[in-house]
Amino acid sequence: MRVAFRCPPELEPLLPRPRPARQALPAWLRAMPAEAEAADLGFAVRTLKQCPPFVDAMAAGFVMPLACDLRVEAGAFAWDWDPPPHGPTGPYTRAPVSCHFAEQAAGTPLHDPDALVVKFNSFWTIRLPAGWSLFCTHPVNRADLPFRTLSGLVDCDAFSESFVHFPAVWSDPDFCGVLPAGTPVAQCIPVPRQTLELDIGALEEDGAQAFAGVQDELAKEPGVYRKRYRAKGSVLAEEPEA
């Protein structure tokens, strides 16, 4: 699938570029061990690094980057980024981050008058093929980030001439430091816009036999899913062995 990204020409030399999510996996995933001792069991168990669905979800789609270094101290945000004046595209926000009012989440479990809700401003338009929408969410399994991006679905086959921004709850009020430019602030996965037809029922004879066969495979050896069922080419060669 071809996904087209465009930015104002005056910003093109400055902006970190969107990246395939598989090229933006965190260092901790590669560094974590494949096995770890389980104190309650007395022997080693396989870690999440060896769970293909866990890794493949983190590698799905693409990530949108933070535009510039963002300094956070005592709940205050600051940045040293002075992009050029607006060009032929006309005016747009020049701040890499802005804020939402807590009241905008009133009536939802997200509402917390003491929580800070930010909006990571993007400077890229996104165009998808006809019939596709873009599911935008928090970078998958990235509990290490001090924010939680809210999920949304944008019809980027039609809405492709304006920026898509990413609201997030700032979840770590004690965070003090710098979020570097390029930090993934959202993970985006194209999804086909079509009606689902749910086919629900009990396993019939052939299906029951196939189910039993797979269960037997899983019980006999580790890594059956990765070796026999995982789609080829689903991850890059340099990604963690899973």
Span 21-66, pLDDT tens digits: 999 999 999 999 998 888 888 888 889 998 999 999 999 999 999 9
The model's confidence at residue 79, banded by pLDDT at 50, 70 and 90, is very high
* CA-CA-CA-CA torsion sign (52, 55, 58, 59): negative
Is 2 a residue whose pLDDT tops 60?
yes
Q: What is the pLDDT of residue 242?
A: 40
Span 100-150, pLDDT tens digits: 877 888 888 887 887 889 999 999 999 999 999 999 999 999 999 999 999
Q: Which range among 56-60, 92-96, 97-101, 231-235 has the greatest average pLDDT?
A: 56-60
Q: What is the 3-state secondary structure (H, E, C) of the chain?
A: CCCEEECCCCCCCCCCCCEEHHHCCCHHHHHCCCEEEECCCCEEEECHHHCHHHHHHHCCCEEEECCCCEEEECCEEECCCCCCCCCCCCCCCCCCEEEECHHHHCCCCCCCCCCEEEEECCCCEEECCCCEEEEEECCCCCCCCCEEECCEEECCCCCCCCECCEEEEECCCCCCEEECCCCEEEEEEEEECCCCCCCCCCCCHHHHHHHHHHHHHHHHCCCHHHHHHCCCCCCCCCCCCC
Is 233 a residue whose pLDDT tops 80?
no
Number of neighbours of residue 50 by Cβ within 10 angstroms: 19
The model's confidence at residue 86, banded by pLDDT at 50, 70 and 90, is confident
Q: Which fold has domain 4-192?
A: Deoxyuridine 5'-Triphosphate Nucleotidohydrolase; Chain A (2.70.40)
Span 150-197, pLDDT tens digits: 999 999 999 999 999 999 999 999 999 999 999 999 999 999 999 999
Q: What is the pLDDT of residue 39?
A: 85
Is 234 a residue whose pLDDT tops 70?
no
Is 95 a residue whose pLDDT tops 80?
yes
Span 195-231, pLDDT tens digits: 999 999 999 999 999 999 999 999 998 889 989 999 8
Sequence ranges of the domains in the chain:
4-192
Query: What torsion, rounded to 10 degrees, do the Cα atoms 41, 47, 53, 57 define?
Result: 140
Whole-model pTM: value is: 0.90
**Minimal CA–CA distance to 139: which of 96, 74, 182, 188?**
188
